[in-house]
Amino acid sequence: MRKVEWTIEKIAEGFDKFKTENGHYPTATEIDMCSYLPSSRQIQRRFTGGLPELRKQLKLDCPTDFTKGEYSSMRAHTIGKRAHQLERIVYEYLIEHFGRPFVHREYFFMDDRRSRTDFFIYFQKGNFSVDVFFPKDRRSLAGCLNSKMRTYGQNAMLQYPVIFLMMNDDISEEEVVKILAQKKKKLHAYQQVMTFTELKKFCAHKTPLKQSS
């Protein structure tokens, strides 16, 4: 296969094509997933200053650096708002099934304020924790899991079962299984990745504790 020569003109055509198809110019992650553009790493090597400088040279109607400034602030706000909404949905389901006294929100395993999980649940024959996340695509799902495995690598957090609850409905259960099978570093014992549908099936087999009258 002939090697593509990525001239600035050819990349500009690709950027314009992407905007026509998607309504905005691509981020670094979107560039890496685009078949008619070079990788962000290739751009970094090809152009001094990388993507920010290339966007500046092409005079694109978008931020030169998506990781800084107003765009970054807006993105962080959007992510934070979505996370709060999703956690609320999960929390309401858990307390409906197990009872409010047995669902601890933002549970800390240690006093370092970092070793935490979104929910810690008690039921008749044990307990488990739930960590809610929303990967925007299959690629970021793998990255999210690698990050969570580092977070949950401490002994204090390995002693309890944990469910990594993937809340993006556009990623199917079959795709999750495939990604897990391809991962070189496997999940620890008692760690599972579930969709919300799978969590409900899991909880249906757990008998809640009885609340005191």
Alpha helices of 99-169 — where are they, by DSSP H?
138-151, 155-158
Query: What are the chain's domains?
Result: 8-67 (no CATH), 82-204 (3.40.1350)
Q: For 145, phi and psi rounded to 5 degrees?
A: -65, -40
Token pair 């090809």 in the structure block, residue? 46
Three-state DSSP class for 90? helix
Q: How far apart are CA 181 and CA 162, in angstroms?
A: 19
Q: How far apart are CA 33 and CA 45, in angstroms?
A: 18
Return the bridge partners of 17, or none: none
Amino acid occupying residue 31 = I
pLDDT given for residue 126 in this prediction: 93
Q: What is the mean pLDDT of each run of 10 residues along the chain (213 residues)?
A: 72 86 76 79 81 82 58 49 81 95 86 77 94 84 82 78 91 90 85 94 94 68
